[in-house]
Structure 1
């Protein structure tokens, strides 16, 4: 029987973040997407995933999805067969980040959601060479609009509650993939190198010409890495 695979997208992203993986990993796994757009804490998002998840499953998350995946692994390690953290951050929030997220929440409440997506998120999410890639940028905009401002506020509130996961990562005993874009400014490679040093049975991949949204910036390479991880 094929292994269940749960894929968790990042902030303001939906199943389209994993479109290439959903299509091209279905012969080795049963992939499904859990969108973290309910609950205003990382702990609650993990609880909601576990409530409806299969008894045992492989788990991959990108950015916010990776943070939720770390919490799932902390809450129910016996249910997770393997882990993949893409473009993720194991640290708790910094004071400057909390201030920034409060400012973003205030902007959303003032009706500036589209300005945030266009001028604060897009420039930081994808590689500079892809900023004029209309199919890519339009997908990111469309995902953000589908998730919407209300869920965005919940996601910002949730990430503000995240706990430092570095100690809990040391307890992971299942095969773990760490993947990041070389030019990721949001969750840069040194964070993943640190996680790789803490997690036994981990494998680190750094993708060239890639920033924060690896699964759609470099879909073929990301799918290949996940395939190898699933077939270990």
Structure 2
């Protein structure tokens, strides 16, 4: 569907990572005039979560995803590439799960089942920040994770285990795309994002120095800039971002 056939400004469908909710994006200055639809991760299957994304709005939209949210977005792209008018991917991994990841997810699920959800939150906290987080940053993350809660966390762990390699889906993208990576993201390092950017035709890769996993908190201005660039290109019907920043 061409821009001229669309009614109104493109909406954004925004999908957070594991143990994250809509507050993940609260520091980001979303482009004015565009509706923003937040999709929570509450289903235990990547396919079902992708259907939630596709059901969030009718017609084309710009997909914004971090970590597990980006992985869900990859599946939405595989199922309905014509719906994805633009992509903003951050802190993500397009590969299939590794054996040690399955083991870690089973261990976390066992802790939650035993009533130790707070321990899981503490285990995940160091991977969210570049180095030791400030007390306020740690409290903010704990509040967000507790708002997600143990039931949704178990569903997210189950969904993680249904992931598959997304490389083929990424190659089907025919829309402007930007891939954001924190250079100090220990969970999803820059090499993961270079792979994603190579797979998506015409994608622009931005590596953000001294940033970790939660880029909307750590680099909200860079996220907002990326969204503006993707939306501007999508509304001009450009298949990719220009090569100049």
Same fold (TM over 0.5): yes
RMSD: 1.3
TM-fit CA distance, 1:26: 3.9
The alignment of Structure 1 onto Structure 2 pairs a total of residues equal to 226
For residue 119 of structure 2, what is the aligned residue in structure 1?
115
For residue 230 of structure 1, what is the aligned residue in structure 2?
231
- Determine which of 30, 36, 57 is the counterpart of 1:25: 30
TM-fit CA distance, 1:28: 4.6
Are 1:102 and 2:106 an aligned pair?
yes
SS at match of 1:123: helix
Map 1:205-216; keep pairs closer than 5 Å: 205-216=206-217
- Determine which of 14, 21, 31 is the counterpart of 1:7: 14
Residue 155 and residue 48 in structure 1: after superposition, are their counterparts in 2 closer, same or farther (change >3 A)? same
TM-score (norm 2): 0.89
CA distance in 2, matches of 1:132, 1:48: 34
- Gap regions ≥5 residues in structure 2: 1-7, 234-245
Structure in which a larger fraction of residues adopt helix: 1
- Gap regions ≥5 residues in structure 1: none
For residue 77 of structure 1, what is the aligned residue in structure 2?
81
Map 1:1-232; keep pairs closer than 5 Å: 1-21=8-28, 24-37=29-42, 39-118=43-122, 120-128=123-131, 131-134=133-136, 136-232=137-233
Give CA-to-partner distance per residue, 1:24-43, whole Å, 9 cap, x none: 22415221211112x21101
CA distance in 2, matches of 1:26, 1:179: 18
C-alpha contact (below 8 Å) 1:67/1:90 kept by paired residues: yes
C-alpha contact (below 8 Å) 2:88/2:226 kept by paired residues: no
CA distance in 2, matches of 1:2, 1:222: 19
Runs of 4+ in 1 over 4 A off after TM superposition: none
Give CA-to-partner distance per residue, 1:132-173, whole Å, 9 cap, x none: 241x22221111111101110100000111011012211111
TM-score (norm 1): 0.93
TM-fit CA distance, 1:2: 2.0
TM-fit CA distance, 1:54: 2.4
